[in-house]
A and B are shown apart, each in its own frame.
Chain A
Amino acid sequence: MRNNKEVGMTVIVKTITRLTVGLILLYGIYIVLHGHLSPGGGFAGGVIIALSFIHLMLAFGREVALKKLSQAAASILESLGGIIFLSIALIGLVGGYFFLNFFLHKGKPFDLFSAGIIPLCNIAISLKVGAGLFAIFAALILFKGQGEE
């Protein structure tokens, strides 16, 4: 507030954010990739990924976060996630029915590469949820910023 060039929060918050934001993003990716093995899954992991970008936006101001992931890119990623999920479902129609688990060899249980289409669906949903929620938050922040001017 005192200095116009200084956007975002104080130097303490910025330093802590610089240390933790990568860990939060990594934890979200871990939750997504291990969704078929441990609790979590695409939706929760996607929200954690969105929270890491929101963390960045709260601490450093909206320009820094929008430079990492712009609103147009978020919209494209969200639509891409939806299309991937739908196309995985539609490929199943070739083998017989909607959402067919079309991998013949499903791998050993408790392996990272197992369970056929489920990890792919998790990744698609996480893209969709993460980018979509970040787009909503960015739009609301921009809306509020314009109202104040």
Chain B
Amino acid sequence: MELHILLLFMIFAAVVAVEVEDLLSSVIAVGAVGLGLSLAFLILKAPDLAITQLVVEILCLIILIRATINKDLPLIRDGRWFFNTFSTLLFIACLLIFAYFAFQELPVFGAPIMKVATQYIQQGLEKTGAANIVAAIILDFRGYDTLGEATILFTAVMGVLAIIRKVGRINAK
């Protein structure tokens, strides 16, 4: 029940974020979506994800407000509303058609069918000694995935630092 209220709130906030004119209000609406997602994780009993989502959302909000918003951002207002609306409706229709067939194959919500996960839960404590099962899975059983995630973050930081470093922009002038 709470989950459905949260989902409605998140959808409403997302629509507001797209439709509102002011950029600052739009960013705050995006933050509201993130906060709703964090609460949803908390209701679904995933506190690790809730903490991570909350702090990342705060960081994104600060970066968006403080470091990127300028007052004179160009707004795209061309007259091709018919083409835009038509393509949007087409993509929504495609998504709904494929989702109708794909969602029939999904298991019931909250009923895990994975054999591997049961193994992790049963043997996690004795094999790793970590009381937090999430830490045991992401850093021991699935450490390779975490290494990939770390590589993504490293690439992102390198990319940002390489694109907006000082030397390049002075030479461009």
B139 CB within 8 Å of chain A: yes
Contact across chains for B136 and A36 when beta carbons are under 8 A apart: yes
A91 CB within 8 Å of chain B: no
Chain B residues with CB below 8 A from A146, complex form:
166, 169
Given B58, B68, B140, which contacts A51 in the complex, CB threshold below 8 Å? B58
Q: How far is the CA of A86 from the CA of B136 in the complex (A)?
A: 17
A82 CB within 8 Å of chain B: yes
Q: How far is the CA of A48 from the CA of B54 in the complex (A)?
A: 10
Contact across chains for B134 and A39 when beta carbons are under 8 A apart: yes
Q: How far is the CA of A135 from the CA of B165 in the complex (A)?
A: 11
A30 CB within 8 Å of chain B: no
CB closest chain-A residue, reference B151: A82
Chain A 92-131 near chain B by CB (<8 Å), digits 1 or 0: 0000001101000011111000111110011001001100
Q: How far is the CA of A146 from the CA of B58 in the complex (A)?
A: 25
Contact across chains for B139 and A117 when beta carbons are under 8 A apart: yes
B residues in contact (CB < 8 Å) with A: 47-48, 50-52, 55-56, 58-59, 62-63, 66-68, 125, 127-132, 134-136, 138-140, 143-144, 146-147, 150, 153-154, 156-157, 160-161, 164-166, 169
A residues in contact (CB < 8 Å) with B: 31, 35-44, 47-48, 50-51, 54, 58, 75, 78-79, 82, 85-86, 89, 98-99, 101, 106-110, 114-118, 121-122, 125, 128-129, 132-133, 135-137, 139-144, 146
Extra 16 A-B pairs, beta carbons < 8 Å, given A140-B67, A146-B166:
A36-B130, A37-B130, A41-B135, A47-B55, A85-B150, A86-B147, A89-B147, A98-B143, A99-B140, A106-B128, A115-B129, A118-B135, A121-B146, A132-B156, A137-B67, A139-B161
